[in-house]
Amino acid sequence: MRFSRALIPTLRETPAEAEVVSHQLLLRGGFIRQVARGIYTYLPLGWRVLLKVTHIVREELTRAGCEEVQMPCLVPAELWQQSGRWGAYGKELLRIKDRHDREFCFGPTHEEVITELVAASVRSYRDLPKNLFQIHTKFRDEVRPRFGLMRGREFIMKDGYSFHTSLDDLDREYAAMRAAYLRIFHRCGLSARVVEAATGNIGGSSSHEVMILAETGESAIAHCPQCEYAANVELAAYRVPATATGTQADVPSAHEVHTPGRGGVQDVIGVLGVTAAQMIKTLIYERDGGIVVALVPGDREVNEHKLQTATGATFLELAGPKTIHDLTNAAVGFAGPMGLPATLPDWGPVTVLADHAIAQLPWGATGANRTDYHCMHVVPGRDFTPTQYLDLGTARADDWCPRCETGTLAIIRGIEVGHIFKLGTKYAEPLGARYLDHEGHEQTMIMGTYGLGIGRTAAAAVEQHHDARGIVWPLPIAPFHIALLLLNAKDAAHTAYAEQTYATLTAAGLDVLFDDRSERAGVKFTDAELIGLPYQVIIGGKGIAQQAVELKDRRTGEAQMMPVEAVVRRIQEELAATGGTA
Ligand code: ATP
Ligand code: MG
């Protein structure tokens, strides 16, 4: 491609709306432009990157035995009603009516459509397994679209779905997909890590996320360097070491202390003379059909995902001051587990769930259920009895690893680029995906689902690979392999040599952006660095007489004179090593 003909509107200034580096550089480099909040046009450079990512995704999934389909964007409401998600999905689902007032949604994911298709087309165990995928535009009306391609409302996703006759067969395919994902990201030149994950809106029994490690990642990962345990902090476990300090038998009876205006853990510990870990933090949640009281040590956060899983609640939210007052007779900040009613009129039963660490406290300090008072010497089991003890806290750095004997957890950040789920029969059951087994009995299919964000992968690549001057694309997903820089377009001999070099490089199958503009050399270098093509081939100065060009590596800054043929060999070899071809 000739730069003079290309649409590459680079910007010198960083647009104010872009907070993260990938968003800034993709805007500045002329890869994307926003059309509306979270909705983008991919410009030629951006689209070339997405095509390269999808090419790798297609190759690896095809190699793993998957077949590509293309489903519609608009999905009739009935299908979503059948699966039960029309009501459950909430405001992220964009609902649309046609001229006949029939309801549709713009598919945010396609379990319903594919399950109906397979239900209608597959009859026998002999036709299973199946694994179908598409590369498709999705719409999710995200609360906070941000970070450019990282969290858009309209975005491109690869979504795949598999259908099986047994859990064992699903396990085998799940492992194959996990391996395929790792190959995909490796081939994209990205370092990725698989972590245990929550199942969220999609549902199912188990799931893993594939993360690209980056400081700016929205996901926090608990990782044990000792045994390689890795899980999204949303659900990460940790081990509470047994403490043997003091016994409950020696503890005086509970008594109140006046703590005016000191509702927060940090405000009150000094007055009470206790550590945060000795506080029994009491959080009150409203749920569908009841109240949940969660107890964790004062130095730990309640993990709402664990709470939601433990309660099976579909709706769970921190209670407001009125509910808190109705339950505790006190203002916010003075709640404790002692003497709570078993039910709350208007809400229903009150369930008290306590973290395992609470059981280990010889005694704790907590709110007295009286405004401006706390209680000291509160003994779990003596002064209150939770409905259940369970793992309720959020893991944090230096917690003991839940898996190995010796490791402690580190918290690292990542960008979730892929998410795979074992679904079981969650969709097959309501949508009637059944087959006849080898004895002629009807059985329900068992499913897996596999998502991969194409645009988010491109953005994650920029987060992982950039410097102060711009993007540094990994070769396999760079929009072009080479920036061919003609430094002096007014010189006829230089121009002729650049044209000849352009022809040789493109004939060898390399993607070349030929900067033939009549701009100053400085402008060409600045644009080339910003756009981030991995190699620069520089035409100017002394090389021409020796029939040589300067090859500069954008990543290392190394430059070397060599014949064009050597440039071709070097880049083709590097591409072949990444599993791709020019
Ligand atoms: P998140 O927790 O980040 O919202 P999710 O769990 O909702 O993601 P999935 O439903 O598993 O995501 O979607 C599969 C993949 O699609 C994700 O791994 C991600 O790469 C991509 N993806 C999801 N939401 C978005 C979005 N709003 N913008 C861009 N890519 C997205
Ligand atoms: Mg989401």
Going residue by residue through the chain, which has 582 residues, state the pLDDT in tens, using 9 for 90 and above: 999 999 999 999 999 989 999 999 999 999 999 999 999 999 999 999 999 999 999 999 999 999 999 999 999 999 999 999 999 888 999 999 999 999 999 999 999 999 999 999 999 999 999 999 999 999 999 999 999 999 999 999 999 999 999 999 999 999 999 999 999 999 999 999 999 997 765 566 689 999 999 988 999 999 999 998 999 999 999 988 766 556 777 889 999 999 999 999 999 999 999 999 999 999 999 998 899 999 999 999 999 999 998 888 888 999 999 999 999 999 999 999 999 999 999 889 999 999 999 999 999 999 999 999 999 999 999 999 999 999 999 999 999 999 998 999 999 999 999 999 999 999 999 999 999 999 999 999 999 999 999 999 999 999 999 999 999 999 999 999 999 999 999 999 999 999 999 999 999 999 999 999 999 999 999 999 999 999 999 998 777 878 899 999 999 999 999 999 999 999 999 999 987 765
Q: How far is CA 223 from CA 185, 198, 213, 400, 412, in A?
A: 20, 16, 12, 11, 7
Whether the Cβ atoms of residue 383 and residue 191 lie closer than 8 Å to each other: no
Give the residues surrounding ligand 1 with Cβ less than 6 Å away. Answer: 109, 140, 142, 151-152, 155, 157, 200, 202, 416-419, 451, 453, 455-456
Hunting for tokens 């309801």 — which residue is that?
A: 103
The widest CA-to-CA distance across the chain, in whole angstroms, is 96
Residue entry with tokens 């003991």: 400
Using omega within 30 degrees of 0 as the cis cutoff, is the peptide bond preceding 129 cis? yes
Residue whose CA is closest, atom 18 of ligand 1? 418
130 alpha carbon – ligand 1 mean position (Å): 24
d(CA 424, CA 200): 15
Please state, in angstroms and rounded to a whole number, the distance separating the CA atoms of residues 497 and 481: 19
Q: What is the pTM of this model?
A: 0.88
Point out the ligand nearest to the CA of residue 460. Answer: 1
As given in the structure block, the two tokens for residue 549 are: 């060009």
| Ligand 1 atom 24, closest CA | 151
Q: Whose CA is nearest to atom 19 of ligand 1?
A: 453
Strand-pairing partners, residue 471, are: 466
Q: Kindly give the distance from the C-alpha atom of residue 253 to the centroid of ligand 2, in angstroms, as a whole number.
A: 48
C-alpha–C-alpha distance, residues 15 and 27, integer Å: 8
CA proximity to 280, closest of 390, 349, 359: 359
> Which residues share a beta bridge with 103?
97
Please give the span between the terminal C-alpha atoms of the chain, in angstroms, as a whole number.
Answer: 15
According to DSSP, residue 14 is labeled P
Note whether 143 and 151 are within 8 A (CB): no
Nearest residue to 146 (alpha-carbon basis) of 138, 155, 159 = 155
